[in-house]
DNA sequence: AGGCCGTACTG
DNA sequence: CAGTACG
DNA sequence: GCCT
């Protein structure tokens, strides 16, 4: 099932608003050309973190123009903190309610925040600014330092930087009382300007300085790992209103088209490109500009240019008219009918759902899929998801009050409506056998008797089976809904939460990342030391790294924690 | 040129 | 086994 | 389709 189209979740990046003005005017932020976005991928947190002060406001705008994101809350993704001159290090810590900030790079004194004393041991001040420094001063170590290193493939973490900024307001001249920059080529620039200039002079963001300073290893983020979608926050929103909104809509149609056609790789590429384009803060209108975005290649880049020029895509118009395609499309929306079956039906000359019902040989599941074609292809409002979940929960608690039911899928990601109802069932301390027995032998029969569960589409038969797929129907309704139960022992809860929350792209990204690290991620846990065959059939299952705690799986993979609503890729 | 997630149920 | 499905 |  294609991922539910993005529920709105609030972006952590606040809006730059016009001072007063009526309506929702937004200041025009003109991003610098892409190759000059020296802050691309960095997340700034200002202190104070509002744009009410004109000087700070200017700095925030400038930071964004150079590619930074402005975080409205201090969180794990923040890479740099920019502190106003009026505040010192202690005030910052107090406000953030932190004992300390894990500084990563304290070697550059230009921008050191007042009141910060570097540890005595690491007296590495002498270095002005390394020529290749693309980041600014006082780097911080990751916040969650406790992360146990569970895998042998230790990688790096995002570095946090702490930057002092001038509150010199509009004049842009440095205020007194700050350590003199060792070199200030231009008196009219404040610290941020300086940082921008110095970063510009240096090489782009790619510089990989693994310098050891007195035996202290220092790392910056893993560039290769950054390319995984799971490393980035996705709310799935901001496409409806962003500068590329229309292009995104058309590309999404193409992605859907390839999805329906079951051209999984093209579909994947389009979704990848869409995700990348959605994050762009400026309108992409030429092939050249599009090509520079990671995830967009020449083919899609050409299409982007065509979409912008002509407002639509000829290829898509054509595809929409293709009759056979429409038929396949129609058939594949039947539960239990994939490309293969759809092609067979179409080749047999069937054109409508009714044709199938009357003439085709159908499996039991396909028949159910047809009988409830409209039901299964309509969205379930969030409130109704809760009703279905409530019924299951109540019935299960009646059998054993220790059971826990979690509503998963797009519901957990905050969606306002879902394609189906996903319920995770567990009981602390119970074995999977006990849970399976209770659910399969007691809960399902009970709810079936009460006419809540109305069809079984796929139910576990294996000894280690853990799922039940079927349909449910509310007492006062005639609409059948797809409902999935996942049975989980407590030890696997974290991995199951991860899997069952999705979305699918996010899961695949996490799993691919795991495999690149010699590990394996599935709905039961994260495993390491997986031996793979040449054709990478796995020879050993690997040893369990983590299964119980969702957060620890992120940590073990060195992926910053993302709440469910940020897993919409 | 070859990878692109890893698993579980159906028939 | 291939096909379909789940996130 | 895109990326290595």
Residues of chain A above pLDDT 90, percent: 50
The angle formed by the CA atoms of residues A335, A339 and A345, to the nearest 5 degrees, is 85
Q: Which positions of strand D lie within 7 Å of protein CB atoms?
A: 1-4
A528: Cβ–Cβ under 8 A, 6 or more apart, which residues? Answer: A150, A151, A152, A518, A519, A542, A543, A545
A523 Cβ nearer than 7 Å to chain B strand: yes
The tokens describing A150, both together, are 């569970």
Q: What is the pLDDT of residue A531?
A: 72
Report the CATH fold assignment for A203-318.
Answer: DNA polymerase; domain 1 (1.10.150)
pLDDT in tens, A84-103: 444 444 443 444 545 455 54
Query: In the structure, what pLDDT confidence band is assigned to residue A454 with cuts at 50, 70 and 90?
Result: very high
Q: What is the CA radius of gyration of chain A?
A: 27
Q: Is the CB of A451 under 7 A from strand B?
A: no
Mean pLDDT for A475-484 is 97
Q: Which residues of A129-155 are buried (b: 16+ CB within 10 A; e: fewer)?
A: beebbbbbbbbbbbbeeeeeebbeeee
Domains A203-318 and A322-376 share a fold: yes
A123 vs A451, which has greater pLDDT?
A451
Write down the catalytic residue from A233, A279, A287, A303. Answer: A303
Return left, alpha or beta for A53; rule: phi > 0 is left, psi -120 to 50 is alpha, else beta.
beta
Q: Which residues contact A355 (CB under 8 A, 6 or more apart)?
A: A345, A349
Bridge partners, residue A468, by sequence: A459, A485
Q: pTM for this one?
A: 0.63
> Would you say the C-beta of A334 is within 7 Å of strand C?
yes
Give the Cα separation of A95 and A152 in Å (integer): 36
d(CA A258, CA A247): 17
pLDDT at position A433 is 94
**Average pLDDT for A428-437:** 95
Return the closest-CA partner of residue A385 out of A335, A413, A414, A422. A422
Q: Find and give the residue nearest to B10, measured CA to C1'.
A: A458
pLDDT above 80 for A275: yes
Nucleotide nearest to A291 (CA to C1'): D2
Lowest mean pLDDT among A53-67, A185-199, A508-522: A185-199
* Strand B and A538 CB separated by under 7 Å: yes
pLDDT at A11 over 70: no
Q: What is the DSSP string of A44-109?
A: EEEES--S-SHHHHHHHHHHHHTT-EE-SS--TT--EEEEETT--HHHHHHHHT-S---BS-----
The answer for residues whose C-beta is within 8 angstroms of residue A338's C-beta and 6 or more apart is A262, A332
The pLDDT of residue A40 is 60
Q: Is position A303 annotated as part of the catalytic site?
A: yes
**What letter does residue A35 receive in the DSSP assignment?**
G
C1’ B5 / CA A478, Å: 36
Per-residue pLDDT at A530: 79
Compute the distance between CA of residue A302 and CA of residue A291 in angstroms, rounded to an integer: 9
Q: Which of A80, A90, A87, A11 is nearest to A53 (CA)?
A: A87
* Contact present, A78 and A43 (Cβ < 8 Å): yes
Q: Residue range A446-474: average pLDDT?
A: 94
Nearest residue for D3, CA–C1': A295
pLDDT the model gives residue A75: 56
DSSP structure class, residue A211: -
In this prediction, residue A345 carries a pLDDT of: 97
> What would be the CATH architecture of the domain defined by A494-566?
2-Layer Sandwich (3.30)
Q: Is the pLDDT of residue A354 over 60?
A: yes
Mean predicted confidence (pLDDT) in A461-470: 88
Q: How far is the CA of A464 from the C1' of B8 (A)?
A: 10
Q: Is the pLDDT of residue A112 over 70?
A: no
Q: What's the pLDDT tens digit per position in A319-333? A: 777 898 899 989 999
Q: What number is the average pLDDT over the span A395-401?
A: 97
Whole-number pLDDT of residue A325: 87
Predicted pLDDT at A101: 57
* Protein contacts of strand D with Cβ less than 7 Å away: A 227, 265-266, 268-270, 272-273, 294-301
Instruction: Inform me whether the pLDDT recorded for A276 exceeds 80.
Output: yes
The whole-number pLDDT of residue A197 equals 30
| Nucleotide nearest A409 (Cα, C1') | C7
pLDDT of res. A127: 26
pLDDT band, very low/low/confident/very high, at A529 (cuts 50, 70, 90): confident
Residue A153: the pLDDT is 28
Q: Which fold has domain A380-488?
A: Beta Polymerase; domain 2 (3.30.460)
Q: Which of A33-42, A133-142, A314-323, A329-338 has the highest mean pLDDT?
A: A329-338
Query: In whole angstroms, what is the distance from residue A4 CA to residue A537 CA?
Result: 32
CB atoms within 10 A of CB A99: 6
Residue A42's pLDDT is 57
What mean pLDDT, rounded, does chain A reach? 71
Mean pLDDT of all residues in A219-241: 78
Give tens-digit pLDDT for A293-352. 999 999 999 999 999 999 989 988 887 778 988 999 899 999 999 989 999 999 999 999
Domain assignments of chain A as residue spans, ordered by start? 10-195, 203-318, 322-376, 380-488, 494-566
Confidence tier at A377 by pLDDT (50, 70, 90): very high
How many other CB atoms are there within 10 angstroms of residue A272's CB atom? 20
Class of domain A322-376: mainly alpha
> How many Å from the CA of A425 to C1' of C6?
16
């Amino acid at each position: 099932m294609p991922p539910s189209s993005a529920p709105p979740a609030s972006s952590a990046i606040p809006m730059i608003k016009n001072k007063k003005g009526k309506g929702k005017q937004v200041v025009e932020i003109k991003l610098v050309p892409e190759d000059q976005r020296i802050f691309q991928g960095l997340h700034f947190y200002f202190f104070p973190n509002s744009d009410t002060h004109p000087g700070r406001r200017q700095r925030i705008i400038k930071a964004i123009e150079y590619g930074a994101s402005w975080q409205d809350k201090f969180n794990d993704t923040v890479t740099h903190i920019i502190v106003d001159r009026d505040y010192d290090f202690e005030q910052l810590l107090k406000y953030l309610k932190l004992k300390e900030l894990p500084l990563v790079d304290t070697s550059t004194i230009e921008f050191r925040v007042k009141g910060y004393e570097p540890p005595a041991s690491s007296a590495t001040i002498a270095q002005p600014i390394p020529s290749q420094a693309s980041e600014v001063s006082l780097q911080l170590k990751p916040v969650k330092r406790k992360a146990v290193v569970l895998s042998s493939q230790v990688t790096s973490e995002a570095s946090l930087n702490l930057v002092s900024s001038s509150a010199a307001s509009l004049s842009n001249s440095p205020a007194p009382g700050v350590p003199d920059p060792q070199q200030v080529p231009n008196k009219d620039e404040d610290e941020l300007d300086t940082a921008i200039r110095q970063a510009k002079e240096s090489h782009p963001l790619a510089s990989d300085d693994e310098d050891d300073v007195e035996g202290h290893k220092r790392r910056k983020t893993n560039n290769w790992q950054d390319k995984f979608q799971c490393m980035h926050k996705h709310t799935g929103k901001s496409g409806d209103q962003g500068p590329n909104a229309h292009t995104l809509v058309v590309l999404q149609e193409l992605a859907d088209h390839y999805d329906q056609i079951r051209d999984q790789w093209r579909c994947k590429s389009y979704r990848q490109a869409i995700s990348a384009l959605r994050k762009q803060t400026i309108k992409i209108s030429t092939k050249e500009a599009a090509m520079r975005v990671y995830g967009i290649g020449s083919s899609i880049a050409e299409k982007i240019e065509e979409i912008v020029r002509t407002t639509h895509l000829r290829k898509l118009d054509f595809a929409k008219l293709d009759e056979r395609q429409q038929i396949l499309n129609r058939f594949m929306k039947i539960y239990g009918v994939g490309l293969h079956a759809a092609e067979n039906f179409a080749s047999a000359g069937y054109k409508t759902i009714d044709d199938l019902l009357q003439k085709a040989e159908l499996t039991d599941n396909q028949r159910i899929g047809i009988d409830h074609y409209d039901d299964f292809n309509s969205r379930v409002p969030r409130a109704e998801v809760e009703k279905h979940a409530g019924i299951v929960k109540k019935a299960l608690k009646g059998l054993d009050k220790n059971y826990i039911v979690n509503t998963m899928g797009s519901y957990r990601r905050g969606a306002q409506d879902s394609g189906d109802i996903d319920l995770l069932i567990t009981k602390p301390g119970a074995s999977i056998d006990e849970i399976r027995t209770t659910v399969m032998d007691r809960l399902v029969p009970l709810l079936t008797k009460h006419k809540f569960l109305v069809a079984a589409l796929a139910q576990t038969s294996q000894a280690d089976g853990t799922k039940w797929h079927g349909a449910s129907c509310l007492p006062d309704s005639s609409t059948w809904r797809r409902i999935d139960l996942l049975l989980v022992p407590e030890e696997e809860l974290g991995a199951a939460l991860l899997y069952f929350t999705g979305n699918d792209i996010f899961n695949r990204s996490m799993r691919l990342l795991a495999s690149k690290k010699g590990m394996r991620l599935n709905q039961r846990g994260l495993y390491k030391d997986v031996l793979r065959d040449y054709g990478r059939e796995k020879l050993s299952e690997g040893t369990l790294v983590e299964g119980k705690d969702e957060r620890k799986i992120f940590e073990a993979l060195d992926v910053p924690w993302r709440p469910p609503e940020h897993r919409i890729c």
